[in-house]
Amino acid sequence: MGLFSKRTKSEPAAVQTAPASSVSHPFSAISSYTPLSNCELELYDSLREAVPVIDAAISKLVRLIGTFEVECGDQRMTEALRRFLDEVPVGGASRGVFQYIYTYFDQLLTYGTAVGEIVLNGDRSTVAALYNASLKDIEIVRGESPLDVSVYRRGLSSERRACENQDLIHLSFLNPKAGENYGSSIMRSLPFVSSILLKVFQSVGQNFERVGNVRFAVTYKPSGNTSSSLGKQRAQEIAAEWSKAMRDTTRVCDFVSVGDVEIKAIGADNQILDCDVPIRHITEQIVSKLSVPPFMLGLSWSTTERMSTQQADILMSELSYYRTLLTPVIKQICETYLRLRGSFEPVEVIWSDINLQDETELAAARLQNAQAEKLESEIESGGET
């Protein structure tokens, strides 16, 4: 039965890519078992949680992708389409296509692969919602042809079931390898350098616990005529009084002892290794992979105005590339809505300018081109006379 065929009986809307319901039993690890490929997904989640620079860079890229507007040949359908994009339910608690696209883009950057679904209502007369599918709940399987890729839903057992309406599901791959049906995460080359950075942070924390939290060594040196039993008793008394003085943090306590007693701070003479240089080197490697200018991440590295302009240009080219990946997804959503409304008008996605600086530079470039054309025309007219 076709996608747009009429049905006499109304059926409830169902999300194809949602995980199957599980049966509760004591052995939850068996029910939650997934193939080994999910370990890579957990790795990228851990990287974002452990390294704030990575999480901040991805979050800023999602925000910088900007907004868009859609247009079609029919003005009436354009207004209806825009109202639908502003009000369409997304998941279980959000509304608006922008929330859906931002989540979709965040998944694409983090894992290299993003999956979403257009959910129809019960009688399949219009789009009821948009759903961001979790990669842990689905499998992407290549068909008989290398050009045929299908989405399967994972069940409770090793069995998998193909989603019936593949035309309602859209996939996006970031930097896919030739012949592969999955993309590459933007964090693909970062686990090694990130592990070194975490080791440095862990070592710094341990050093401050050892050196920053002052500990004292109290040494009692008995005289030569002191017996061993008396020396032991006096050492115990000194230890008890010292512990009492250190425990009382509400007021200043003095420690008084008899005999040759020496007190030293443990670790006070040790010097903590300078970690600024290795941390900066590692952070530079991370930032270079994420293609986000350092000043946008709060990193006060020395830079020139020309260098910052070049970094901004590189960021603009990255965002333009990401927009080309998201545009087909937006068109699929809009065209599905229009087809269900009986309209076959083509849809155009118009992205907003990324910032005001680009608009100023484009205006200055147009002014210089106009001045050059005017000067060339004056030279040509003068030569003819």
- The 10s digit of each residue's pLDDT in 129-140 is 999 998 888 888
d(CA 256, CA 238): 9
The reported pLDDT for the residue numbered 333 is 94
Residue range 10-40, pLDDT digits in tens: 455 667 776 654 444 444 332 333 333 567 8
**Cα torsion 47, 323, 63, 332: sign:** negative
- According to DSSP, residue 358 is labeled H
The reported pLDDT for the residue numbered 27 is 41
The reported pLDDT for the residue numbered 335 is 93
Nearest to 130 by CA among 107, 97, 172: 97
Query: Which residue has tokens 């692969």?
Result: 113
H or E stretch covering 58: helix 52-64
CB atoms within 10 A of CB 375: 10
**Cα torsion 333, 338, 339, 340: sign:** positive
Structure tokens at 171: 């996939």
Nearest to 140 by CA among 174, 113, 107: 113
Q: Environment class of residue 109 by beta-carbon count within 10 Å: exposed (0-12), middle (13-18) or buried (19+)?
A: buried
**Residue ranges of the chain with per-residue pLDDT less than 50:** 1-10, 21-36, 356
d(CA 188, CA 150): 24
- According to DSSP, residue 223 is labeled -
Please, what is the Cα angle at 264 between 261 and 270, to 5 degrees?
Answer: 160
Structure tokens at 54: 């990575």
Please give the distance of CA 125 from its chain centroid, rounded to a whole number.
Answer: 35
Give alpha helix (H) positions in 137-271: 191-207, 228-247
The reported pLDDT for the residue numbered 4 is 44
The reported pLDDT for the residue numbered 97 is 94
d(CA 163, CA 179): 23
The reported pLDDT for the residue numbered 131 is 93
The reported pLDDT for the residue numbered 108 is 94
Q: Three-state DSSP class for 180?
A: coil
| Buried-state track 353-374, b at ≥16 Cβ within 10 A, e below 16 | ebeeeeeeeeeeeeeeeeeeee
Give the gyration radius of the chain's Cα atoms.
Answer: 33
Please give the distance of CA 73 from its chain centroid, rounded to a whole number.
Answer: 37
Distances (CA, A) of 316 to 174, 289, 311, 322, 354: 17, 15, 9, 10, 8
The reported pLDDT for the residue numbered 353 is 79
H or E stretch covering 355: none
